[in-house]
Amino acid sequence: MSDAMREDKRVFLMGEEVAEYNGAYKVSRGMLDEFGPRRIIDTPISEGGFAGLGIGAAMHGLRPIIEFMSWSFSLVAADQILNNAPKMLYMSGGQFGCPIVFRGNNGAGGQLGSTHSWCVESLYSNVPGAKIAIPFDPYDAKGLLRTAILDPNPVFVLESERLLSIKGEVPEESYEIPFAEALIRRSGSDCTIVSFGRPLYFCLEAAEQLAKEGIDCEVIDGRTIRPLDIDTIVKSVRKTNYCVVVDQSWPFASVSSEIAAQVHMRCFDDLDNHVFRVNNDDVPAPYAYNLEQEMLPNARKIVEAVRAVTYNA
């Protein structure tokens, strides 16, 4: 964000506690000192208000970055981020684009209960007009965010509170990671596992365990849901003939069901079994530690799904 703000004065950051508090999760630490209060702007707790303000500013030529402390709170701004941002270009017949980034933590944070544990990707990816990126590690977080800021469309960047402490090599210089370019995080030949963001760690963990059993998994990080790099997934499935999609949102009408449908359409003759899915259980997120762990996609569930899908291998 700081790189983009140094290069382009049209970019500003707005959200709850982004300035004087240095970010509720310290993501914007030091930015107020560098850029001042005109460009790093604290807001009251008014998600609808500041999301809409950002959209209006984008229509008038600025490049806002709007932080949601949690994407769970974005639901109170649903009309602005789903009705206004993604549809402005269309409704205005190409006159007013909306180059804006909404970013913040998505997914279960750890015993936060149902209202604070939203995974919005399935809900929001249903809406045409916005793009959705989900970073896996610090390198991707920087590169995908930069691409998002430079993109002329509204982009939702779904970060994870649970991944903020992950450490990794990040180049000093600016770089972009193009959207719709999935990355193979682990190569394998027996079963394709597709996921996004935090559950990828569980996928990699499961893949190590399965390797010991002689099942060699290929783990694909989709990186962006819209646009979706289905070609990389299809190519992998044509090689492995099996596919498991791991998705931390609920199963019904979800990212996983969409990917399963597309894989079935594109790889019908290549599949040796139907696509298996591992999702959040179809229940509100519980508070109790054991229940929450059971509800989320985890390595055990992924291992079981891979074993089940490849039973006839």
- Kindly list the catalytic residues: 47, 116
279 binds another protein (CB under 8 A): no
Cα dihedral 243, 244, 250, 256 sign: negative
91 touches another protein by CB under 8 A: yes
Contacts with another protein by CB under 8 A: the residue count is 47
Query: Terminal CA-to-CA distance of the chain, rounded, Å?
Result: 47
- Binding flag, residue 222, another protein (CB under 8 A): no
Q: Measure the CA–CA gap between 44 and 1, rounded to whole angstroms.
A: 21
Helices 230-240 & 255-267 angle (0-180, nearest 10): 60
Q: Is 115 near another protein (CB under 8 A)?
A: no
Q: Examine residue 79 and tell whether it contacts another protein (CB under 8 A).
A: yes
Rounded least distance, CB 198 to another protein, Å: 26
Contacts (CB under 8 A) with another protein, residues 249-278: none
Question: What character string, x for contact with another protein (CB under 8 A) and - otherwise, covers 8-47?
Answer: -xx-x-------------------------xx-x-xx-x-
Q: Does 212 bind another protein (CB under 8 A)?
A: no
DSSP H helices in the chain: 2-7, 31-35, 47-59, 78, 88-91, 121-124, 138-150, 199-212, 230-240, 255-267, 289-295, 299-309
Among 52, 197, 286, 297, binds another protein (CB under 8 A): 52
> What single letter denotes the amino acid at residue 187?
S
Residue 152 touching another protein (CB under 8 A): yes
Q: Which of 83, 262, 293, 298 binds another protein (CB under 8 A)?
A: 83
Which residue lies nearer to another protein by CB, 93 or 214? 93
Phi, psi of 243 (to 5 degrees): -145, 135
Burial class (CB in 10 A: 0-12, 13-18, 19+), 34: exposed
d(Cα 90, Cα 67) in Å, to the nearest integer?
25
Q: What residues line the site for another protein (CB under 8 A)?
A: 9-10, 12, 38-39, 41, 43-44, 46, 48-62, 79-80, 83-84, 88-97, 99, 128-129, 131, 151-153, 180, 227
